[in-house]
Amino acid sequence: MNGLHLTADLYDCGNSALLLDQPALAALCEAEVARVGLSAVSHCWHAFPASPAGPGGITGVVLLAESHLAIHTWPERAGVTLDVYVCNFGADNSLRAERLLQALLAAFAPRRQQCQRLQRGTQPEPGGA
């Protein structure tokens, strides 16, 4: 169950058209998942309707054999939140996770970003919480 979970919250994305384009987002994610050597097993996407604040964002997940990739876009702020979570069942997938995140950062081209890194499933001893 141990694995690496990377989060990235992106602001002022240069490629703002991508934040509104569900087919392009889905194609980008599927292509980059495959390119780094991870395995997609399912996916789901949802496009939010426009509101007085602006066009609606897109939210989606690619389920991986290794865990998941999640994306939520915020077009009114040219923002995106990303999660790349991979378990290390059978192999250490940490480098693949890093490469996937870097590829997505390059595609969105944010001017600012906030990244966090979690180690998951590190087996606390009985009695730990």
Which of 102, 98, 107 minimizes the C-alpha distance to 13?
Answer: 107
Nearer to its own copies, 68 or 96 (CB): 68
Nearer to its own copies, 36 or 69 (CB): 69
State the amino acid at position 83 in one-letter form: D
Q: In what order do the strands lie in the sheet with 40-47?
A: 40-47, 58-64, 67-74, 79-87, 3-13, 110-120
Instruction: Point out the catalytic residue in the list 13, 29, 68, 72.
Output: 72
Instruction: Point out the catalytic residue in the list 67, 68, 94, 115.
Output: 67
Nearer to its own copies, 28 or 75 (CB): 75
Q: How many CB atoms lie within 10 A of CB 53?
A: 10
DSSP sequence for 15-52: -GGGGG-HHHHHHHHHHHHHHHT--EEEEEEEEPPPBT
The contact set with its own copies (CB under 8 A) reads: 1, 3, 5, 7, 9, 11, 41-46, 48, 59-61, 63-65, 67-68, 70, 72, 74, 77, 79, 81, 83, 85, 87, 111-116, 118, 120-129
Closest contact distance (angstroms) between CB of 39 and its own copies is: 11
Helix (H, G, I), strand (E, B) or coil at 94: helix
State the amino acid at position 96 in one-letter form: R
Whether 43 is a known active-site residue: answer no
Closest contact distance (angstroms) between CB of 12 and its own copies is: 8
Whether 72 is a known active-site residue: answer yes
**Residues with catalytic roles:** 67, 72, 87
